[in-house]
A and B are shown apart, each in its own frame.
Chain A
Amino acid sequence: MIEALQLEFLRNAIFAGLLASLLCGVIGTFVVVNRLVFLSGGIAHSAYGGIGLALFLGVPYLIGTMGFTLGAALILAVITMKAKHRSDTIIGVIWAVGMALGIIFIDLTPGYNVDLMSYLFGSILTVSRSDLYQMSVISAVVLFAVNYFYYDLLAMSYDEEFANLRGVPVGLLYPLLLCLVALSIVLIIRVVGLILVMALFTIPPFIAEKYSGSLRTMMLISVLLGALFSLSGLYFSYVFNLTSGASIIMVAAAGFFISTAVDHLFRKRIN
């Protein structure tokens, strides 16, 4: 394992995994407490349209995908604010349309030969040094925004009505939150792929939520759990020669079931 760490692609993979864990923990916490899991799924799948568009236009992956997912996030923000009772239906539509657009753009791209699987299930082992720089910049932007608006976001998430009365600009903050979700998704797709992005978004915060006295603690525990899952997933993928994204998710899923089982047993003993 020590000699493996001398390989640059593995070092990059570890660093990418840690960055993704950081973002998953912080943004995933907001996704879980605001019940935005389905909406995030919609954004993640519409990102596929962005990938197709980027290939079709020949622009870099990050630029095409980011533009497309931010657009989808803003549309979803407006729709879910205006028509709350129909938002799940509309998320489903955008989910499907994003995927379909991605396929059609790739059909239209001449000489297409990119490995689709790498976007669906992640390609952490091919993350390059320049990818890492881009990811670091996005992470810094997201973390700065969350830290700056922490109390506003907390108030909006817990009691939107009261936050509104105190002058928190909920109408701007909610779209901002969805944009941060979109940015994080674009980044995490590189690591575990868009199919599996949701598990890394939800499992660490789900486990952390039970043991956290505050939102900050929940974020911290989520980040640590995400790092644990990513690194051990990478290790298993290296040792057993498995797809890295799927390995990470399986480790996270194991954590999910163990945590649920432990809770269940513990609660039974109390009663």
Chain B
Amino acid sequence: MNEPVVRIRDLWFSYGGHPVLREVNLDIGHKEFLAIIGPNGGGKTTLLKLMLGLFKPEKGAIRIFGKDPGEAAHRIGYVPQNVHVNKTFPISIMDVVLMGRLRSKGGRSHPGKTDRIEAGRFMEQLGVWELHNRRVRDLSAGQLQRVFIARALATEPEMLFLDEPAASVDAQGQTELYDLLKKLNEQMTIVIVTHDLIFLSSHIQSIACVNERLYYHDEPEITPEMVEVCQCPVDLIAHGLPHRVLRPHKDDADDRSASA
């Protein structure tokens, strides 16, 4: 593997005196497809925001493309978790996607013809072009989710961060979304925070489980250690394709009963 695009060393972060992340080490390689799983409040979103430079680490180092997160943030396409922020705001879908073109040339932010064409191209790719004149409040959560992905892609990123992008999308939409991500992965590194590994397991290359500490596995499988630390895989074992996401392990049965 080449020089990692993300390098995190001994990262600590706490929020209001309450520890959120401790001793986190992580390398993400070029064009890697990493899924981050873990219980709610385990620090998944916090980790993304630290990598984006939105939060400052308490201790430890984060290098993105070999730079400080703040200097590299514009090279990352970010799809936030909460698409309902400011749902009543009078803004057209076109203007939302054009936010992805902000300051792309530096200086004054004023989208030109090229920016509109590019924004339109990504909206078509995500199947939301027909909505470009509508207002955000007129869209369903699933449609808005795709608009936010189009906005992230409009930044022409080298790396894509998605925070639970499938939370408000139906099963059909999820399959489409994951196929799109697989295609995008040919060009860029993808980090996705998710709960449903089942759909993703054939696309991803690695898994990180975050619950204050981070456990990394460079194969699309959950290790027994993760099952113990992150309660979420219980779900997986129950519905999923266990042989794919869960490595056969002699303690498997014990783990299952322990965490159920």
Which residues of chain A in 113-157 are interfacial with respect to chain B, using CB atoms and an 8 Å cutoff?
148-152, 154-155, 157
For A212, what are the chain B residues with a Cβ–Cβ distance below 8 Å? 90
The reply to whether B109 and A168 form a contact with Cβ atoms under 8 Å apart is yes
Known: A152-B109, A161-B54, A166-B100. A33 touches B89 (CB 8 A): yes
B155 closest partner in A (C-beta) = A166
Taking CB as reference atom, which chain B residue is nearest A164?
B54
The one of B85, B90, B98, B135 that contacts A159, using a Cβ cutoff of 8 Å: B85
Of residues 163 through 193 on chain A, the ones whose CB sits less than 8 Å from some CB of chain B are: 163-168
* Chain B contacts for A159, CB-based, 8 A: 80, 85-86, 99
The residue in chain A whose Cβ has the minimal distance to the Cβ of B92 is A214
Q: Give the residues in chain A near B21, CB-CB below 8 Å.
A: none
The digit string for B84-102, where 1 denotes a CB below 8 A from any CB of A, is 0110011110011011101
A257 within 8 A of B: no
20 other A-B residue contacts (CB within 8 Å) besides A166-B74, A166-B100, A213-B135:
A33-B89, A33-B90, A151-B109, A155-B102, A158-B86, A158-B91, A159-B80, A159-B86, A159-B99, A161-B80, A162-B78, A163-B99, A163-B102, A166-B155, A167-B103, A209-B90, A213-B134, A215-B90, A215-B91, A215-B95
B237 to chain A, nearest CB (A): 35
Nearest to B151 among chain A residues (CB) is A162
CA distance A214 to B96 in the complex (A): 10
Counting CB contacts under 8 A, is A260 at the interface?
no
A155 and B80 CA atoms in complex are apart in Å by: 15
Instruction: Specify which chain B residues have a CB less than 8 angstroms from the CB of A166 in the assembled complex.
Output: 74, 99-100, 102-103, 155
Chain B residues contacting A150 (CB-CB under 8 Å) are 110
Chain B residue numbers with a CB within 8 Å of A213 are 90, 92, 133-135
Chain A interface residue count, CB cutoff 8 Å, equals 26
Chain B nearest CB: distance from A165 CB in Å? 5
CB of B170 to closest CB in A, whole Å: 25
- Tell me if B92 and A165 are in contact (CB < 8 A): no
Determine the chain A residues whose CB is within 8 A of the CB of B53 once the complex forms: 165
Q: Say how far A100's CB is from chain B's closest CB, in angstroms.
A: 35
- Considering only residues 161-184 of chain B, those with a C-beta below 8 Å from chain A are none
Residue of B with least CB distance to A214: B92
Total interface residues in chain B, CB < 8 Å: 30
B19-54 near A? 1/0 per residue, CB < 8 Å: 000000000000000000000000000000000111
Neighbouring A residues of B113 by C-beta, 8 Å: none
B18 at interface by CB-CB < 8 Å: no
| B111 lies within 8 A of chain A by Cβ | yes
8 Å CB interface, A209-239 against B: 209, 212-215, 217-218
- Known contacts A152-B109, A165-B73, A214-B90; decide if A158 and B99 are in contact (CB<8 Å): yes
**Taking the complex as formed, is B239 at the interface, i.e. its CB lies under 8 A from any CB of chain A?**
no
List, in ascending order, chain B residues with CB within 8 A of A154's CB.
91, 95
In Å, the complex CA distance between A167 and B53 comes to 12
Q: Shortest Cβ distance from A30 into chain B, in angstroms? A: 11
Given contacts A163-B99, A209-B90, contact A151 B111 (CB under 8 A): yes
Interface flag for B250 (CB, 8 Å): no
Contact (A157, B89) CB under 8 Å given A151-B109, A152-B109, A164-B54: yes
Taken together as a complex, chains A and B put the C-alpha atoms of A252 and B149 apart, in Å, by 41
Complex-state Cα separation, A166 to B54, whole angstroms:
12
Q: Does B108 contact A (CB under 8 A)?
A: yes
10 closest A-B pairs by beta carbon, nearest first, are: A166-B102, A151-B109, A167-B103, A212-B90, A214-B92, A165-B73, A155-B99, A152-B109, A218-B90, A158-B89
